[in-house]
């Protein structure tokens, strides 16, 4: 029960890493709002986990973000943790061939959502003198793969934003960290690879020294530590959960 008494929002919690983090937080005693564009998916995780509140939200939309935070306050009486997990990518392509619509979507979901969440939640955290933000980044922001240029760049932005947020917010008792997972066996994997074939999986796996994709459980374990009081002296860290890919 390492998060007993904590109140958390996890975005993109209907599948993949977000679902794994939400399930673990619930198991460790937290109250969790599971936000996802796919409300049915979030509701399925709630039913499976036996707890939590499902909420439909487009985190790239300011009104949805404000409603999400207001809902958590209403349901739980406040917020202690925000996990910015929702993310998307464009299909592999040469950088000049990625269309503007896909670029805008990657920027809005991966980057603007963090700004929108902070704009509303940071004043609340400042008033209570405490709070934790965890941004889910990617090894793509540290060791870019070809033909994923604008996704790589968005995750590099997340890493820099995490450190900038951490140093500015530390005097107010607010911690900000990030996780950098390697490719995981989640719904986004096919988008990263372009096609989900045994050959393409083998190509990706060959770049990971530990020889496997990351899992929602791997991310949940790391997120649990960084969002718990055990990490009270840890801020501005972009932790690699990547099986050695970035070595």
Opening angle at CA 9, ends 222 and 119, nearest 5: 110
Answer for the pair 111, 158: CB distance below 8 angstroms, yes or no.
yes
Cα four-point dihedral sign 134, 137, 139, 144: negative
User: Per the structure block, which two tokens stand in for 50?
Assistant: 């036996």
CA distance linking residue 176 with residue 165, whole number of Å: 6
Copy the structure tokens of residue 234: 């840890």
- To the query of whether residue 151 is one of the catalytic residues in this protein, the response is yes
Reported as half-sphere exposure (CB side, CA atoms, 13 A), residue 220 has a value of: 20
Residue showing tokens 């074939």: 197
- The rounded distance, in Å, linking the Cα atoms of 208 and 99 is 30
In sequence order, what are the beta bridge partners of 84?
Answer: 135
**Are the C-beta atoms of residues 108 and 57 closer than 8 Å to each other?**
no
Calpha distance 159→66 (Å, rounded): 24
Chain-centroid distance of CA 120 in Å reads 18
For residue 35, CA distances in Å to 29, 43, 195, 197, 218 come to 18, 9, 28, 31, 20
Q: Which of 17, 25, 150, 151 is catalytic?
A: 151
Which residues are tagged catalytic? 151
């Amino acid at each position: 029960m390492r998060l007993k008494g904590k109140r958390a929002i996890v975005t993109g919690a209907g599948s993949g890493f977000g679902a794994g983090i939400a399930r673990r937080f619930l198991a460790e005693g937290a109250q969790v709002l599971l936000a996802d564009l796919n409300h049915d998916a979030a509701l399925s995780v709630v039913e499976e986990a036996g707890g939590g509140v499902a909420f439909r939200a487009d985190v790239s939309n300011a009104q949805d973000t404000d409603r999400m935070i207001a809902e958590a306050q209403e349901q739980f009486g406040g917020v202690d943790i925000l996990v910015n997990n929702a993310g998307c990518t464009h299909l592999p392509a040469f950088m000049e061939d990625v269309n503007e619509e896909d670029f805008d979507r990657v920027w809005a979901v991966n980057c603007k959502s963090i700004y929108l969440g902070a704009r509303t939640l940071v004043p609340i955290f400042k008033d209570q003198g405490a709070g934790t933000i965890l941004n889910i980044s990617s090894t793509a922001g540290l060791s870019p793969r070809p033909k994923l240029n604008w996704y790589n760049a968005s995750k590099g932005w997340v890493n820099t934003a995490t450190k900038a947020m951490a140093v500015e917010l530390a005097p107010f008792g607010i911690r900000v960290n990030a996780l950098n997972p390697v490719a995981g066996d989640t719904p986004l994997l096919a988008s990263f690879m372009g096609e989900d074939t045994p050959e393409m999986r083998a190509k990706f796996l060959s770049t990971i020294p530990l020889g496997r994709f990351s899992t929602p459980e791997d991310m949940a374990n790391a997120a649990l530590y960084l969002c718990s009081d055990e990490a009270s002296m840890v801020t501005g860290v972009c932790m690699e959960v990547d099986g050695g890919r970035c070595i």
